[in-house]
Amino acid sequence: MDNSPKVILTFDLELFEPKEKTFQQALEIVLSLLQKHSARATFFVLSGEIAEKYPDLIKAIASQGHQIACHGWSHQPINQLGPELFRKEVSQAKTLLEQITNRPVLGFRAPYFSLNKKTFWALDILKELGFQYDSSLFPVRTPLYGVWRPKAIIEKAPIKEVPVSVFGGGIYFRVLPFWLFKWLVKRSSKKQIPVLFFHLQDFFASSRARADLKEPWLVRAFSRVGLKTSLKNFEKLLQLFQMTGV
Ligand SMILES: [Zn+2]
């Protein structure tokens, strides 16, 4: 496995209700797969939903060698919060995670990849709050999110920018044929370490849609595609690549 290409594996951890399982059981299935293949990951935790409700789960994730990072407090995009609320929520979210894990929280990912030129101020606040890196950048403009010319943001950023790979999301993982996804990861790993991002919802069907998350119709339309094979394919991915946190 040591010669296999390195891949940065990340999860956004927010609440959902899996069918015929508890949230905890779904998380434990994924954690045990990671453990089985000696894979490490970074979990961006939505503190208002997960850290408050399931502190023991956060402790368990950290104790298995994974990195705990911050996904904010509520699930509001940066522009809707504005600087004042952003600072308040993110600071509260970081503090809670640090109290639970007893370790500094160094990374941040905004809901909906909502970092762009208009919300660039958020990076200064993240720096003030003691973050060392941000992973809120989707480096291509799509109908859902992302930015044109991400380089301009990456170069000016006051903290390290860790943009996700364009093809790196769970939705692409489920919708594309596995051979193609695997090929994309392999090809891009020759230039730089790919950054993949998953949700637990990429492996388990939800018992009901979250009304509060305003998922664009495109995401909703694809929410069930590929769920029958995604966990098996995910395990194949863990066998092929050396997964690490940020
Ligand atoms: Zn999220």
Domain assignment present for residue 174? The answer is yes
Q: What H or E segment, with its residue span, contains residue 221? A: helix 217-221
**Distance of CA 21 from the midpoint of ligand 1 (Å):** 21
**Distance of CA 192 from the midpoint of ligand 1 (Å):** 25
3-state secondary structure of 138: coil
Q: Residue 165, Cβ neighbours under 10 Å: how many? A: 21
Is residue 223 pLDDT above 90, yes or no? no
Give the list of residues 6+ apart from residue 153 with CB closer than 8 angstroms, or none: 115, 116, 117, 120, 137, 147, 161
Q: Could you tell me how many residues make up the chain?
A: 246
Chain segment 32-60, per-residue pLDDT in tens: 999 999 999 999 999 999 999 999 999 99
**Cα angle vertex 56, ends 50, 62, to 5°?**
90
**Distance of CA 198 from the midpoint of ligand 1 (Å):** 10
Q: What are phi and psi of 46, to 5 degrees?
A: -80, 105
Is residue 159 pLDDT above 60, yes or no? yes
3-state secondary structure of 214: coil
Which protein residues have a CB closer than 5 Å to ligand 1 (ion)? 12, 111
Residue 20: the pLDDT is 87
**Distance of CA 169 from the midpoint of ligand 1 (Å):** 12
Q: Residue 83, Cβ neighbours under 10 Å: how many? A: 13
C-beta of residue 213 within 8 angstroms of C-beta of residue 165: no
**Distance of CA 16 from the midpoint of ligand 1 (Å):** 11
Q: How many domains is the chain built from?
A: 1
pTM of the model: 0.94
DSSP 58-87: HHHHHHTTPEEEE--SS---HHHHHHHHHH
CATH at residue 61: 3.20.20.370
Is residue 211 pLDDT above 70, yes or no? no
Task: Give 170: exposed, middle or buried? Use CB within 10 Å, 0-12, 13-18, 19+.
Answer: buried
On average, the pLDDT of the chain sits at: 92
Give the DSSP letter of residue 5: P
Q: Which domain holds residue 156?
A: 6-244
Q: Is the dihedral of CA 98, 102, 106, 110 positive or negative?
A: negative
Tokens of 19: 């069918």
**Distance of CA 111 from the midpoint of ligand 1 (Å):** 4
Domain assignment present for residue 1? The answer is no
**Distance of CA 208 from the midpoint of ligand 1 (Å):** 17
The H-assigned helical ranges of 10-116 are 23-36, 55-63, 78-101
Q: Give the percent of the chain with pLDDT over 90.
A: 78
Q: Are strands 195-198 and 6-13 parallel, antiparallel or unpaired?
A: parallel
**Distance of CA 1 from the midpoint of ligand 1 (Å):** 31
